Chain A
């Protein structure tokens, strides 16, 4: 507790703290003689007045214990509330403290017919609480009740008699239309006890009201067993009452209090934040003036920040807005976009899309792209037939206006650089070409989406027909070798030419003749 609170406590409770201290001293002395009731009364009378004689009953030790417990719990708030209550009710705080200490225990319950005063049911906690002549007591109680109601209450307009106190006990009367409950208890009933009694009587009237109304003195006409069962629940009140005075309810109260505080704080916080946002919003709108934001939406972010969504018509407006916000000291996150930029973005995307589509139509090309509007970034991935085409693609993309960041992952198809040569008039493949065939098979397995054209050639000696057949045989032989190496038979296009390949025309005649007996590989760029 802070020093201020301590000072405040001392100021407010000065008187009480002194009397409690006095009381404690006296109790300490009295605890040694707690069996001597008279001494106790005499010792405490100066502080508590005649209240003490009422509370010093048979269970004096229980009472002392309870009172001491109460004193330990003399926390600031509790004492303060008690003080206010005492002022309000016009009784001393000590009396209230005593009331707190007194345990209410219900000993006897009478259900009495209101009009005749006849006893319908009498129940007792145990044999020690049994009352002699209950019928007479019930009648006498009814007479007293009638007397008070008739002669006193009528004149003072105070309503019915509720509690008759005697010694350290009281008779609490809860009255319904045709009957009333007289509950004899140790201590004075408080709200909780009264409420429980009232609930029980309500239930009895609801269920058994008719037979009670018709009661003519014959108890056998009542459902005594059922009514008694209901009434017996009242004997449990003591325990319930005690519980509410324990430490756990105090904790529950604390938890409830905290639970109440959380939404309250949240609400206040929310309200304050909303005020801040409202204010910011007003300043922001005032500052806008020449910048028109369409579909404007202002939303709350953390730490009293707000964000503005919407769009402006031009990049110029957007720049203008950014400038204003930077200089305004308002913590506003700008999420406004310019339609102009959006239009350009669409334009870029269209351009990229068109270029890629055209490229993919070129034989051997298989290209994909990813475009990020905000970063003006493009990533291109895929394969083209050769370096020339690759360069051409890169150059086209780079020239699209508005793109700033590029990532190219473009492959080109490998070239079948070497041919397989044959002896004169032969189509048998020489052993030395096995390594080359392995290599080509590997390439083909890598690019299975493409076909391979195998063209057989001959020199120009001999008949064309024979040469044509020879060149085809040469191509077939190569194909079979590749099929042996795992290439699908369908992936080949065979071709035969009864002359030498054009590429070797420039060579010498002898060399030309040798080199024209060959098979040439090339990519057939038709996709699967």
Chain B
């Protein structure tokens, strides 16, 4: 067993591509069936940051739908958060604020990274997050990823691992 473990939550609206993102990255995960039952899917990723190994336990929390809000209980005790946004979502600043608000209601301002996913669909997309960063210092960075191509996925996970160490 690796000496250091960290709990990372992966949050984002329904169908932003969280699960595909995980699949690009992790070595192991439970069957997808679980997520529909209890609303969370657990994955594991071993990372090496500088000279230290760490295990990230990634809690992929089922996104909110119109009839069911996100189950905040799964965010308890998390050390870091990955907030996933669909690049096609034009109301992303509100979405980000909402996710951070939910996070902060459960855990105390944990290091977070913003992930703009499906960049392959809008390669030119660039988000204006400077205002958000100054408003929420817990935002440590932003990535433009593609589960399809694997672009920046690895980097994003290393960034969050470094931030929460």
Known contacts A136-B43, A150-B73; A219/B3 CB under 8 A: yes
Contact with A along B48-71 (1 / 0, CB 8 A): 000000110101000000000001
A116 touches B1 (CB 8 A): no
A217 touches B4 (CB 8 A): yes
State how many angstroms separate the Cβ of A375 from the closest Cβ of chain B. 97
Contact among A133, A144, A219 for B38, CB-based, below 8 A: A144
- In the assembled complex, B78 has its CB within 8 A of some CB on chain A: yes
B77 touches A115 (CB 8 A): yes
By a CB distance below 8 angstroms, the chain A residues around B71 are: 147, 150
A217 touches B7 (CB 8 A): yes
- In the assembled complex, A17 has its CB within 8 A of some CB on chain B: no
- In the assembled complex, B74 has its CB within 8 A of some CB on chain A: yes
Instruction: Give Cα distance in the complex from A135 to B42, angstroms.
Output: 10
By a CB distance below 8 angstroms, the chain B residues around A144 are: 38
B44 touches A135 (CB 8 A): yes
Instruction: State the 8 A-B residue pairs at the shortest beta-carbon distance, nearest first.
Output: A116-B77, A115-B77, A147-B38, A116-B7, A139-B42, A217-B5, A146-B73, A143-B40
By a CB distance below 8 angstroms, the chain A residues around B6 are: 118, 217
Instruction: Give Cα distance in the complex from A369 to B152, angstroms.
Output: 127
Interface residues of A (CB under 8 A from B): 113-119, 122, 133-136, 139-140, 143-144, 146-147, 150, 216-220
- In the assembled complex, B34 has its CB within 8 A of some CB on chain A: yes
State how many angstroms separate the Cβ of A146 from the closest Cβ of chain B. 5
By a CB distance below 8 angstroms, the chain A residues around B17 are: none
Instruction: Give Cα distance in the complex from A144 to B35, angstroms.
Output: 11
Instruction: Give Cα distance in the complex from A220 to B2, angstroms.
Output: 10
| Total number of residue pairs linking A and B with CB closer than 8 Å | 74
23 A–B contacts, CB within 8 A, in A order:
A114-B77, A117-B57, A118-B7, A119-B1, A119-B5, A122-B1, A135-B5, A135-B55, A136-B43, A139-B57, A139-B59, A140-B34, A143-B38, A143-B40, A143-B42, A143-B59, A143-B74, A147-B38, A147-B40, A150-B71, A217-B6, A217-B7, A217-B54
Residue on B with the closest CB to A132?
Answer: B28
Residue on A with the closest CB to B79?
Answer: A217
By a CB distance below 8 angstroms, the chain B residues around A147 are: 38-40, 71, 73
Instruction: Give Cα distance in the complex from A46 to B7, angstroms.
Output: 48
State how many angstroms separate the Cβ of B53 from the closest Cβ of chain A. 12
By a CB distance below 8 angstroms, the chain A residues around B39 are: 147
Residue on A with the closest CB to B55?
Answer: A135
By a CB distance below 8 angstroms, the chain A residues around B38 are: 143-144, 147
Instruction: Give Cα distance in the complex from A150 to B29, angstroms.
Output: 24
Contact with A along B63-106 (1 / 0, CB 8 A): 00000000101101111000000000000000000000000000
A136 touches B30 (CB 8 A): yes
By a CB distance below 8 angstroms, the chain A residues around B1 are: 119, 122, 134-135, 219
Segment 5-40 of B: residues with Cβ below 8 Å from A: 5-7, 28-30, 34, 38-40
Known contacts A117-B57, A118-B57, A135-B44; A220/B3 CB under 8 A: yes
Residue on A with the closest CB to B76?
Answer: A115
B79 touches A116 (CB 8 A): yes
By a CB distance below 8 angstroms, the chain B residues around A139 are: 7, 42, 57, 59
By a CB distance below 8 angstroms, the chain A residues around B30 are: 136, 140
By a CB distance below 8 angstroms, the chain B residues around A140 are: 30, 34, 42
By a CB distance below 8 angstroms, the chain B residues around A133 are: 28, 44
A116 touches B78 (CB 8 A): yes
A136 touches B28 (CB 8 A): yes
Instruction: Give Cα distance in the complex from A163 to B120, angstroms.
Output: 46
Residue on A with the closest CB to B40?
Answer: A143
Starting from the known contacts A116-B7, A135-B5, A150-B73, 15 additional A-B residue pairs (CB-CB under 8 Å) come to A117-B57, A122-B1, A135-B57, A136-B28, A136-B29, A136-B57, A139-B57, A140-B34, A143-B74, A146-B73, A150-B71, A217-B4, A217-B7, A217-B79, A218-B3
Contact among B28, B34, B77 for A118, CB-based, below 8 A: B77
In this complex, the member of A134, A136, A150 whose beta carbon has the largest number of chain B beta carbons within 10 angstroms is A136
By a CB distance below 8 angstroms, the chain A residues around B3 are: 218-220
Instruction: Give Cα distance in the complex from A514 to B78, angstroms.
Output: 149
By a CB distance below 8 angstroms, the chain B residues around A136 are: 28-30, 42-44, 57
Instruction: Give Cα distance in the complex from A147 to B61, angstroms.
Output: 12
B4 touches A218 (CB 8 A): yes
Segment 118-140 of B: residues with Cβ below 8 Å from A: none
State how many angstroms separate the Cβ of A307 from the closest Cβ of chain B. 79
Residue on B with the closest CB to A118?
Answer: B5
Known contacts A133-B28, A136-B30; A146/B74 CB under 8 A: yes
Known contacts A134-B1, A217-B4; A113/B57 CB under 8 A: no
B73 touches A117 (CB 8 A): no
State how many angstroms separate the Cβ of B5 from the closest Cβ of chain A. 5
State how many angstroms separate the Cβ of A330 from the closest Cβ of chain B. 81
A116 touches B76 (CB 8 A): yes
Instruction: Give Cα distance in the complex from A248 to B77, angstroms.
Output: 49
By a CB distance below 8 angstroms, the chain B residues around A135 are: 1, 5, 44, 55, 57
State how many angstroms separate the Cβ of B97 from the closest Cβ of chain A. 25
Instruction: Give Cα distance in the complex from A217 to B38, angstroms.
Output: 24
By a CB distance below 8 angstroms, the chain B residues around A146 are: 73-74, 76
In this complex, the member of A113, A134, A135 whose beta carbon has the largest number of chain B beta carbons within 10 angstroms is A135
Instruction: Give Cα distance in the complex from A189 to B126, angstroms.
Output: 57
Known contacts A118-B7, A135-B1, A136-B28; A216/B43 CB under 8 A: no
Instruction: Give Cα distance in the complex from A144 to B57, angstroms.
Output: 15
State how many angstroms separate the Cβ of B68 from the closest Cβ of chain A. 11
By a CB distance below 8 angstroms, the chain B residues around A134 are: 1
By a CB distance below 8 angstroms, the chain B residues around A220 are: 3-4
State how many angstroms separate the Cβ of B137 from the closest Cβ of chain A. 20
Residue on A with the closest CB to B71?
Answer: A150
State how many angstroms separate the Cβ of B121 from the closest Cβ of chain A. 31
By a CB distance below 8 angstroms, the chain B residues around A143 are: 38, 40, 42, 59, 74
State how many angstroms separate the Cβ of A419 from the closest Cβ of chain B. 130
Instruction: Give Cα distance in the complex from A217 to B67, angstroms.
Output: 34
Known contacts A135-B44, A136-B42; A117/B28 CB under 8 A: no
State how many angstroms separate the Cβ of B136 from the closest Cβ of chain A. 22
State how many angstroms separate the Cβ of A113 from the closest Cβ of chain B. 7
B77 touches A117 (CB 8 A): yes
Instruction: Give Cα distance in the complex from A113 to B76, angstroms.
Output: 11
